[in-house]
Amino acid sequence: MKKDERGFTLIEVCVASIVIMTGLVSLATLFTLALKQNRTVKQFISSTAIAQQKIEELSAIDVSDARLAVGGNLTAAATNYADQLTVDESTGAVTATPNGQVASYFRYWKIEADPASAGNLLSNTIIISVRVVAAFGGQGKTPEETTLTTARRL
């Protein structure tokens, strides 16, 4: 062997391997974190869109419609003031959950008379609140939930 021949020693190869392994483990951790964040953001966007859809539906119906009757509850299902929805992961389509299937989201709404307009004959206003809760949260996280509120003059 000549003295001027150079190459990698076993120690240099081991150190390089450790550096590369540390970098790959860090990248894998970031990838996992990104997947969790993606699920959370997707739930937030879906729950907000589902709540907005109900607000728009209730805002568009005639003021004499029975669906605008005061009632409902934002924390528990009340008859005619709650539904369960399924979101198709591939298309994003939102549909009522068929019997026997697990819902993706629970939606509750409440309609109440505006306390600020009580006794004012010229102001007939109702407050519409919609709360949407995801059925499942991310690993170790509570499910995403969104509450939207609007006022509508009758």
Name the 3-class secondary structure at 139: coil
- Taking the C-alpha atoms of residue 141 and residue 138, their distance in angstroms, rounded to an integer, is 5
- Taking the C-alpha atoms of residue 98 and residue 101, their distance in angstroms, rounded to an integer, is 6
Element (H, E) at 30: helix 10-60
Whole-Å CA distances, 33 to 85, 103, 109, 143: 27, 26, 33, 17
**Is the pLDDT at 122 greater than 60, yes or no?**
no
What's the gap between Cα 67 and its chain centre? Answer: 25
- Supply the DSSP symbol for 69: S
**Is the pLDDT at 1 greater than 80, yes or no?**
no
Indicate the domain borders of the chain: 10-153
**pTM, entire model:** 0.74
What does the pLDDT read at residue 121? 55
pLDDT tens digit sequence for 81-90: 999 999 887 8
127: nearest Cα among 87, 154, 99:
154
37 Cβ neighbours under 8 A, 6+ residues apart: none
- Taking the C-alpha atoms of residue 144 and residue 46, their distance in angstroms, rounded to an integer, is 10
Return the amino acid letter for 123: S
What mean pLDDT, rounded, does the chain reach?
86
What does the pLDDT read at residue 119? 64
